[in-house]
């Protein structure tokens, strides 16, 4: 028993000495420990902080994306002269019995507005919104480096709310209108513009929806919805992804007066690129035109075939239009164009616009439940809509 008691302190001493030696080796020769782990196939322990950092794919900062895209976003300042004739009281008491009010002498005032734009070519083409520059007598652009220059209006398209400006310069920082990956709901986005004239500002959010239409904002609607803050002055600015790539042109936000918060819209690159090319090539957007107004066709039992949750119903036929000459009538339901099904009004409106004036198309549909077919030669859609 006494021998066992004497051996306990000896064993404890060896344990303490071994731990001390191991700690010393760990401090002085950490590579020996790594070599031993590799030989035994044992991985190094991972701290909780390192595990969180490894599993977190979101960047801690979007500064690099802003550096890549912000120089391409410009501030736009417009001015126009408005002539008014103010109302004034008639000093003659006798004439006051008739109306008491007349128009005064014409007077002029200067109205200013602001917005944003995106440089999309190194030789000075700038995309912005139509409503930013509408009726402007003078357009000035402030670049990322503080330089202010005059801009020339190349062309404008009210129906997509897009306009193209041109500024003098070369080797300007431009954002590409080409994009390989589709925009998806949940993608992180940054809105860059000049809200309230504060200067270039960046807000962050996500893509809340794609393909938004039926908002009555423009004739051709296919918006990206985002909760990134878009305020007055952001119109025409850039909506970019987390890498700084352009995905849309900011155009509109539902304000708190509408009971909404965090609901903004941007025009996608597909639309912006098409409008830019048309305006640069022709000075305006040239679209095909059927000469009708239409909405999504209702599904009526006994009127449409079972798989008919598609097509459009004609609500108006313009006199003398291609549709009028082809015999289309109000109430007709159009189901196919050139043997390709019409999904809905957005689908037909897009396909109609993408066809060249003079194109001949084959239409199939129903009239009072009876199938019919006809051919139509498209005209050019009137500028500014109908």
**Phi/psi zone of residue 300: left (φ > 0), alpha (ψ -120 to 50 degrees), beta?**
beta
Query: Within 13 A of 370's CA, how many CA atoms are on the CB side?
Result: 3
> What token pair was written down for 347?
């689908």
**What would the DSSP string read from start to end of 128-186?**
E-HHHHTT-SEEEEE-TTS-EEE-EEEEEETTTTEEEEE-S-SS-----S--SSPP-TT
CA neighbor of 193 nearest in space, from 252, 262, 110: 252
Q: Rounded CA gap, 78 and 100, in Å? A: 38
Q: Out of 69, 156, 161, 321, pick the active-site residue.
A: 161
Q: Out of 116, 218, 235, 321, pick the active-site residue.
A: 235
Q: Out of 131, 156, 208, 321, pick the active-site residue.
A: 131
Which residues, in sequence order, are bridge partners of residue 293?
316
161 catalytically annotated: yes
Q: Rounded CA gap, 156 and 160, in Å? A: 9
Q: Rounded CA gap, 340 and 311, in Å? A: 11
**343 burial level (CB within 10 Å; 0-12, 13-18, 19+):** middle
Query: Residues with catalytic annotation?
Result: 131, 161, 235
């Amino acid at each position: 028993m006494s021998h066992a008691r004497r051996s306990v302190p000896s064993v404890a001493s060896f344990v303490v000495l071994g731990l001390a030696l191991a700690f010393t080796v760990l401090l002085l020769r950490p590579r020996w420990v790594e070599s031993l782990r590799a030989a035994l196939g044992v991985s190094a322990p991972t701290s909780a902080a390192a595990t969180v950092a490894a599993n977190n794919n979101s960047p801690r900062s979007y500064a690099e994306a802003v550096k890549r895209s912000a120089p391409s976003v410009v501030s736009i300042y417009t001015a126009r002269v408005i002539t008014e004739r103010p109302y004034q009281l008639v000093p003659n008491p006798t004439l006051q019995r008739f109306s008491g009010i007349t128009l005064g002498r014409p007077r002029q005032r200067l109205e200013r507005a602001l917005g944003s734009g995106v440089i999309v070519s190194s030789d000075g083409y700038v995309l912005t919104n139509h409503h930013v520059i509408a009726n402007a007598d003078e357009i000035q652009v402030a670049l990322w480096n503080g330089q202010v220059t005059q801009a020339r209006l190349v062309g404008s398209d009210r129906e997509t709310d897009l306009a193209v400006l041109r500024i003098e310069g070369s080797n300007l920082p431009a954002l590409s209108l080409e994009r390989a990956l589709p925009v998806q709901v949940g993608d992180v986005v940054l809105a860059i513009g000049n809200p309230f004239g504060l200067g270039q500002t960046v807000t962050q959010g996500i893509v809340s929806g794609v393909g938004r239409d039926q908002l009555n904002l423009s004739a051709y609607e296919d918006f990206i919805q985002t909760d990134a803050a878009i305020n007055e002055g952001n119109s025409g600015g850039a909506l970019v992804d987390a890498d700084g790539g352009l995905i849309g042109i900011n155009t509109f936000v539902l304000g708190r007066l509408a009971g909404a918060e965090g609901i903004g819209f941007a025009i996608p690159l597909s639309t912006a690129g098409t409008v830019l090319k048309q305006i640069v090539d022709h000075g305006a957007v040239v679209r095909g035109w059927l000469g009708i107004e239409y909405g999504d066709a209702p599904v009526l039992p006994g009127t449409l075939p079972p798989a008919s949750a598609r097509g459009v119903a004609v609500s108006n036929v313009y006199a003398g239009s291609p549709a009028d000459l082809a015999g289309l009538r109000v109430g007709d339901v159009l189901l196919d164009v050139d043997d390709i099904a019409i999904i809905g009004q957005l689908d037909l409106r897009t396909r109609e616009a993408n066809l060249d004036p003079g194109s001949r198309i084959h239409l199939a549909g129903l009239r009072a439940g009876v199938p019919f077919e006809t051919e139509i030669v498209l005209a050019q859609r009137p500028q500014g809509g109908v």
